[in-house]
Amino acid sequence: MDGKEYGQTLRQLTLWTHHVLLPVYGREVTSAEPWCSRWWEHPEAVAQFHGLWLAWGELTGPGSKQSGPANWHRDYLVPVMSALRNPTGPFAGCKPGAHRPKEVPKVDAIDPFGPVG
């Protein structure tokens, strides 16, 4: 996705996160379970929430099986929230009202599998 479609998808994701996910599943912020109030500035969080949102639509929407919501909780919600709120996860170093950008790991600017010169 790009451009307008990407922006619309992020808007829908944000609405779902703020009005469905967090009011029900947002736990208290502690040093053991950090949170960032600017979660959208963490690419890992955006990617994880996007997958969670898509799975939620598939497993809890019209036509889903009765076990869909339970499967969503077990297979998607718990692992995603545990990974994001882990003390070493993407929100590590963020505090209530204080976003801390993460440093991306360095990668050598070579193509290790490219043609040998």
pLDDT tens-digit readout, 43-80? 999 999 999 999 999 999 999 999 999 999 999 999 99
Q: Which DSSP letter does residue 42 get? A: -
Structural domains counted in the chain = 1
Which residues have C-beta within 8 Å of that of residue 46, sequence separation ≥ 6? 10, 13, 39, 40
Q: Is residue 35 part of a domain?
A: yes
The whole domain housing 82 covers: 29-100
Domain assignment present for 54: yes
Give bridge partners of residue 95 from the DSSP assignment: 98
- Chain-centroid distance of CA 26 in Å reads 13
Helices 43-60 and 3-16 pack at an angle, to 10 degrees, of 70
Domain-embedded: residue 105: no
Q: Would you state the structure tokens that stand for residue 106, as one six-digit string?
A: 């360095």
pLDDT digit string, tens, across residues 8-41: 999 999 999 999 999 999 999 998 999 999 999 9
d(CA 41, CA 37): 9
